[in-house]
Amino acid sequence: MSLRSLLFAPGDSDKKMAKASDSGADCVILDLEDSVAASRKPIAREMVREFLKAGTNPNVEFWVRCNPLDGPYVLHDIAAVAAAAPKGIILPKTNGAEDIVTVARFLDVLEAEHGLAAGSIGILPVATETAAAPFGLGSYNKHTPRLRGLTWGAEDLGAAVGASSNLEANGQWTSPFVLVRALCLFAAHAAGVQAVDTVMADFRDLAGLERVCNEARRDGFTGKIAIHPAQVPVINQAFSPSDAEVAHARAVLDLFAANPDAGTLQLDGKMIDKPHEVQAQRIIAMAERLKAR
Ligand code: COA
Ligand code: MG
């Protein structure tokens, strides 16, 4: 499963849900949370369920973002959409693994009720949106088999702590957000799941998007969330290994295979050892995941 590009579409817009399905995104996130007004939540739940049932594009994984656990909507959201078998639930404003366990219990019941395979609906938390959330990031490596990835959010966290901005004048994240971005990255890898970078709100700045995608990929994120279809091709390109990267990774693995007793070797005049082999395996795994789509 590849969480490379994930495009949000408001759950009360049939037009955007349909357009998102044809955008080239690996995953479409049908949103019931912040992009849907309170008065529209009930209709949005029905629209998302019907949209999922229609199964518009078999090449796309459809996820649903429900409302947070501390509000009045979440049970209705999950109960409404589970029967239509979404790929997973994006759970906002989580504080740690306990929140995953709670939603997993709801899903256990609903999967049984609707005759779905046990454990088939995944969970991807937005794991940095409350002031307490950064302290729970280390807990996701506990036994939470539905966990598919971790992502982080800057807008709600900024509001939670009264930050007047989350960006420096040059467009870089301010230091509190640099910190949680890195913690999310490490927490995801500690839990053995994919790290997914947060949205870039300025959806017209595609050159800036390419830069932040390249930085995220360099740092170990495997994908990024989009809010506008124009962002999808940029994200797909940045998070796909290039032919040159795949060729280099194969050369590294071939060299280690040919020298099974060597701990360290040289390739094109550069020292390579265990971390390079691990990274090469990662690149090949990523390329194969994308090819399997
Ligand atoms: N999914 C599908 N289609 C989208 C889209 C999205 N996320 N965002 C824009 N589009 C469509 C528009 O409907 C429009 O379609 P049209 O040409 O057929 O009329 C086209 O893409 C161009 O859109 P544009 O005019 O550039 O933007 P907009 O002003 O219509 O929309 C937003 C801007 C921010 C409102 C819109 O991108 C959006 O709704 N994004 C998702 C928001 C969301 O879900 N947020 C929650 C997570 S943070
Ligand atoms: Mg939000």
Q: pLDDT tens, 36-77?
A: 999 999 999 999 999 999 987 899 999 999 999 999 999 999
On whether both 141 and 256 belong to a single domain, the answer is no
Boundary (domain end) residue, out of 202, 222, 238: 238
In this model, does residue 33 exceed pLDDT 90? Answer: yes
What CATH number does the domain containing 89 carry? 3.20.20.60
- What's the whole-number mean pLDDT along residues 266-282? 94
Residues in the chain: 293
Domain that holds residue 260: 243-292
On whether both 172 and 282 belong to a single domain, the answer is no
What is the per-residue pLDDT for 293?
A: 73
How many domains does one find in the chain? 2
In this model, does residue 86 exceed pLDDT 90? Answer: yes
In 3D space, the residue among 84, 124, 117 whose CA is nearest the CA of residue 103 turns out to be 124
On whether both 201 and 217 belong to a single domain, the answer is yes
Q: pLDDT tens, 130-168?
A: 999 999 999 999 878 999 999 999 999 999 999 999 999
The closest ligand to the CA of 157 turns out to be 2
On whether both 20 and 125 belong to a single domain, the answer is yes
In 3D space, the residue among 32, 40, 36, 39 whose CA is nearest the CA of residue 81 turns out to be 32
CA of 271 to the centre of ligand 1 (A): 47
On whether both 283 and 228 belong to a single domain, the answer is no
What is the per-residue pLDDT for 1?
A: 66
Q: pLDDT tens, 216-233?
A: 999 999 999 999 999 999
Determine the atom of ligand 1 nearest the C-alpha atom of 29.
44
On whether both 101 and 216 belong to a single domain, the answer is yes
The closest ligand to the CA of 31 turns out to be 1
Pocket of ligand 1 (CB under 6 A): 7-10, 15-16, 19-20, 31, 34-35, 199, 227-229
